[in-house]
Amino acid sequence: MIRAHSVLLAVLGCLALASAAAAEDLRWTRYDNARFGYSIDVPAGLFAMQPAPENNDGRDFSGRDGRSHLVVWGSYNALEQSPAEYAAFLSEDAGFGRVTYKVVKRDWLVLSGYRPSPRSDKPSERIFYMRVMFNRDHSAMSHFEISYEAEDKARFDPVVARLVATLTAPADD
């Protein structure tokens, strides 16, 4: 009985440590883009921010695990596409990936699916998830795209949910 109790306490201790480590991974920071006027929360414990591009439209965030990637950016809607037209344009790009989930609304869209993994040690598929927010007059868009190994889906599901909840549309002109 005492032995079983000790094993149970050890297991609970390990779970508590694992939960604390997982919580540490999800330290969040706010990224604000002055050029396009959008923002998003980024899990700084999981991703390292890379230098800003010359045009300052967004940022790349490299996964600290070496297996994931997040990019956020703004753009002008130069072709004056509706969310449905933009989703179709992205989906038709042969290099975009295999889209398995698509939602298009009046001011936003989501595309998700799979791409081949670049990992040579274990060929698999990577999940990608992209959300695009249009400003009120559809003249500009904010985007995020996250990609990660399919085997890491459970770990990244709450990350994707927070990214979705915090991406804002670009400021109106």
pLDDT for 130 beyond 90: yes
Task: With H, G, I as helix, E, B as strand and everything else as coil, classify residue 136.
Answer: coil
For 123-130, what is the mean pLDDT? 87
Lowest mean pLDDT, pick from 6-20, 36-50, 134-148 = 6-20
Reported as type and span, the H/E element at residue 78 is none
- DSSP state, 27? -
pLDDT for 60 beyond 50: yes
For 30-34, what is the mean pLDDT? 97
Lowest mean pLDDT, pick from 22-31, 87-96, 137-146 = 22-31
Spatial CA neighbour of 161 closest among 140, 146, 149? 146
Q: What is the pLDDT of residues 144-166, one digit of tens each?
A: 999 999 999 999 999 999 999 99
CB 146 within 8 A of CB 159: yes
Q: What is the pLDDT of residues 68-120, one digit of tens each?
A: 999 999 999 999 999 999 999 998 876 778 899 999 999 999 999 998 877 65
pTM beyond 0.75: yes
Count other Cβ atoms within 10 Å, centred on residue 144: 24
For 119-140, what is the mean pLDDT? 87
More confident: 122 or 156: 156
Please tell me the predicted confidence (pLDDT) of residue 10.
Answer: 47
Please tell me the predicted confidence (pLDDT) of residue 123.
Answer: 60
Q: Which CATH superfamily is domain 28-166 in?
A: Mog1/PsbP, alpha/beta/alpha sandwich (3.40.1000.10)
Q: Where are the beta strands (DSSP E) in the chain?
A: 28-33, 38-43, 47-49, 58-63, 69-76, 98-104, 108-116, 125-134, 140-149
